[in-house]
Structure 1
Amino acid sequence: MPVETNTVAPAPKWDTTTTPGPTAAPPVSDPTPETPPSKGRGWLGWLIAALVIAAMVFVKMKYFPSNAAGGDKKGAAAGGKGGPGGAGGKGQRTPVQVYVVAATNLTDEVAATGSVLAEESVVIKSELSGKITSLNIKEGQSVSKGQLLFSINADEAQAAIQKQQYNIKLFRDQERRQRTLLDKEYISAQEYETSNNQLLTAQADLQALRATLDKAYVRAPFSGVLGLTTATVGTYVSPGAEITTLSRVRPVKIDFAVPGRFAANVRVGDVVSVLDETTNKKYDAKVYAIDPQIDPVSRTQPVRARFANTGNELRPGAFVRVNLKLGESETALQVPTEAVIPEASGYSVYTVKNNKMVPKKVKIGIRSDKVIQITDGLVVGDSVIRTGILQVKPGDAVRVTK
């Protein structure tokens, strides 16, 4: 068997005289994560950082001088020259305006809205159906009690009355004969009672017919002033049809309500001031009735006063403003509204004592749009800060300005 032999070819030899030999590949270096900045970018970053620091220092010195001006630490700590509490630190004190508390006159009033009502008022209606046969209504004119206003055709009622009168005459004669027979014991007592009952029933029916006839003639139930009407003679009306109104306007009533917390302070006989917004004139009315119950919806106490209205100054239905005086004090303490600070636990004010701000808790009473009564927490002579309240804190030095 022929034996195959593997021969290794010799490596080629390069002729260095004509062709240069192969060169080794350059070594592979590991890639770097960042390229170091150039010198130009380095100095630019430092410049930006320096500008930012300079801006922060400027803002600090400009808008926060109290913290930055600490050069004279010894004088600031001792409150001497250069410190905010010393003679040279007046520029550091917060300027404020104050109100000096003094005793003033105060009237305790309750303001309410009210309506004017007629002393008496009624809608004149017809109780019967029929045609109006006479009409004596003069619109807007005064009438006296009992004066005839209008009448309705009552021919049927008059005929029914006449018929019933004939029946009564017949029943009366029967009752007389039955009584004679009863006395002689010709009839029983029951027969006589039946006859007598017919007579009594007929008499009662006659009274009912006369009452119906009276409804055909409508008269004024009281003296007053008539309203407008659209009825004329010949108008057919039904029961309940409105003909006109009648009102008594001298005097008039003033209806108003006060908050429930003042209910105990209202008394019969109290004088209230009534302002008519149409003429801007004030009148004095007197309380004559107080509702015994507080309205459960509005939590107010209904009150009613009376005004003479001799000159027809107030008209029923008008809207008025009512001021009820509950009391008057000559030693009340009041401060401007802007000086009182509402808090979760009540109210407080800022006062000035030894040129420093001192807060005080107070209790308020009557208030208006300009002043508030202080019932506890202040005394006469206290200086209450009214401006610059948001710029001061307890213990801060302040400077009182005019």
Structure 2
Amino acid sequence: MKKRMVIMLVCVGVLLALLVGFNAFKAQMMKKFMASNAAPPATVSAVTVSYQVWQPQLMAVGSLRAVRGVDVTTEIAGLVREVRFKSGDAAKAGQLLVQLNADSDIAQLHASQAAAELARTVYMRDKAQYEIQAIAKAQLDADAADLKSKDALVAQQAAIVAKKAIRAPFAGQLGITTVNPGQYLNPGDAIVTLQAINPVYVDFYLPQQQIGQLAVGLAVMVESSSFSGRVFTGKITSINPKVDTATRNVQVEASIDNREGRLLPGMYANVKIDVGSSRQHLTLPQTAITYNPYGATVFIVKPGSKPNAQGKVLPEAQQVFVTPGATRGDQVAIERGLTAGMQVVTSGQLKLKNGTPLVINNQVQPAASPNPMPQEQ
């Protein structure tokens, strides 16, 4: 009986030992399997956070306007006798542009002048007779009134004749005209556009919060998509004393040097105004920041702690919260959360989580220009 009990205990012990050994072997194999099947490293681009000097700027989109601009029209109806300019010419102030047929008006002017001369002759003769008491004072007064009336008719007719000669009201650049000799013009019909474009005005709007940073004489830089990379300079000439109650924006006018005549009225332009002194900001490309309901985050690159299956220790990703500030083109200033010298992932964040091993490849970097320009694809 004792012998059977001993044999049973030995068998139970051997069975327990085999069970414990099998579990230990299983755990070891599972650990090895998991180690060999760890997540592969993620390939990302990264940049080292550093301070950059920023010049505070106010930016807006404005519309160009001529200092003086008008569509030249006729005040009086008439038949075009002669066109004295060509499309695109530069006109001087007072230059004759179009001459309307004024033959009948000139003839009427001559008749009025003859009547005025006769009235003047009668007045001078009656004045001499009045001095010798040959006529009454009432007759002389009637002659004087008739002379003034005739002179007024001469001035009226001369004004009508002058209106038949359509002149440039100021110096500027003429546009394209479709008026031809023999064409009949009615009052108000447009003949040609006349624009004084040196200098040229740019009108733009800024929020009322920025009014305190504005002042007449402040330098302005203007860029147009028509002239890529070209910057036109000017200065603020006027600030509207009234804020728009619908938008809470204030209108600003600036005068831009346009001696080459490249900027044309009606074009839109990007306006930049330097305000205040330059500042230093920790700067990142905007692609480095991920926004979620909890805030803005970035992935920083930290040294790895464990070797991979090949025995290499790769850097790892760690997610941190940051406070972004002002933006400048493709760049964003970081106010809190990072320090200079940290390495931050700039692309490939969607496949990362805390502890993901990283392979950094900076052959292609996301755009980080302070003054990006549109590109045609």
Output the TM-score relative to the length of structure 2. Answer: 0.63
Which residue number in structure 2 is paired with residue 330 of structure 1?
A: 279
Cα deviation, residue 138, structure 1? 0.5
Q: Is contact 1:349–1:385 with CA below 8 Å preserved after alignment?
A: no
Q: Is contact 2:237–2:255 with CA below 8 Å preserved after alignment?
A: no
Which residue number in structure 2 is paired with residue 192 of structure 1?
A: 140
Q: Is contact 2:62–2:203 with CA below 8 Å preserved after alignment?
A: yes
User: CA distance change for structure 1 residues 169 and 289 in 2, over 3 Å: closer, same or farther?
Assistant: same
Q: Is contact 1:103–1:330 with CA below 8 Å preserved after alignment?
A: no
Take 2:289 and 2:90, find their aligned partners in 1: how far apart are those partners? 58
Cα deviation, residue 101, structure 1? 7.8
Code of the residue aligned with 1:266 in structure 2: it is L
The reply to whether residue 288 of structure 1 matches residue 236 of structure 2 is yes
Which residue number in structure 2 is paired with residue 231 of structure 1?
A: 179
Take 2:192 and 2:211, find their aligned partners in 1: how far apart are those partners? 38
Asked which structure has the greater CA Rg, the reply is 1
What do you get for the CA RMSD once the two structures are aligned?
Answer: 4.1
Cα deviation, residue 143, structure 1? 2.6
Cα deviation, residue 361, structure 1? 11
Code of the residue aligned with 2:248 in structure 1: it is R
Which residue number in structure 2 is paired with residue 300 of structure 1?
A: 249
Residue 179 of structure 1, aligned match among 122, 127, 135: 127
For the residue of structure 2 that corresponds to 1:320, the secondary structure is: strand
Which residue number in structure 2 is paired with residue 259 of structure 1?
A: 207
Which residue number in structure 1 is paired with residue 269 of structure 2?
A: 320
Which residue number in structure 2 is paired with residue 109 of structure 1?
A: 57
Residues paired across the two proteins, number: 298
User: CA distance change for structure 1 residues 163 and 271 in 2, over 3 Å: closer, same or farther?
Assistant: same
Which residue number in structure 1 is paired with residue 104 of structure 2?
A: 156
The reply to whether residue 168 of structure 1 matches residue 128 of structure 2 is no
Which residue number in structure 2 is paired with residue 17 of structure 1?
A: none
Cα deviation, residue 329, structure 1? 2.6
Which residue number in structure 2 is paired with residue 146 of structure 1?
A: 94
Take 1:290 and 1:317, find their aligned partners in 2: how far apart are those partners? 19
Deviations 1:272-307 (A, max 9, x none): 222211231331321232233222232222222223
Q: Percent identity of the aligned residues?
A: 23
Deviations 1:236-256 (A, max 9, x none): 111111111122233322222
Deviations 1:168-210 (A, max 9, x none): 1232233234434544455554443232122112212211211
Which residue number in structure 2 is paired with residue 248 of structure 1?
A: 196
The reply to whether residue 270 of structure 1 matches residue 218 of structure 2 is yes
Take 1:369 and 1:130, find their aligned partners in 2: how far apart are those partners? 57
For the residue of structure 2 that corresponds to 1:291, the secondary structure is: strand
For the residue of structure 2 that corresponds to 1:251, the secondary structure is: strand
The reply to whether residue 367 of structure 1 matches residue 352 of structure 2 is no
Q: Is contact 1:135–1:233 with CA below 8 Å preserved after alignment?
A: yes
Please, which runs of 5 or more residues in structure 2 have no aligned partner? Answer: 1-45, 301-317, 361-377
Code of the residue aligned with 1:295 in structure 2: it is D
Q: Is contact 1:271–1:284 with CA below 8 Å preserved after alignment?
A: no
Take 2:179 and 2:192, find their aligned partners in 1: how far apart are those partners? 8
- After superposition, where does 1:72-111 map in structure 2 within 5 Å? 103-111=51-59
Code of the residue aligned with 2:225 in structure 1: it is E
Residue 218 of structure 1, aligned match among 160, 166, 188: 166
User: CA distance change for structure 1 residues 170 and 254 in 2, over 3 Å: closer, same or farther?
Assistant: same
Output the TM-score relative to the length of structure 1. Answer: 0.60
Code of the residue aligned with 1:300 in structure 2: it is N
Please, which runs of 5 or more residues in structure 1 have no aligned partner? Answer: 1-97, 393-397
Residue 259 of structure 2, aligned match among 300, 310, 323: 310
Code of the residue aligned with 2:57 in structure 1: it is E
Q: Is contact 1:285–1:305 with CA below 8 Å preserved after alignment?
A: no
Residue 133 of structure 1, aligned match among 71, 81, 100: 81
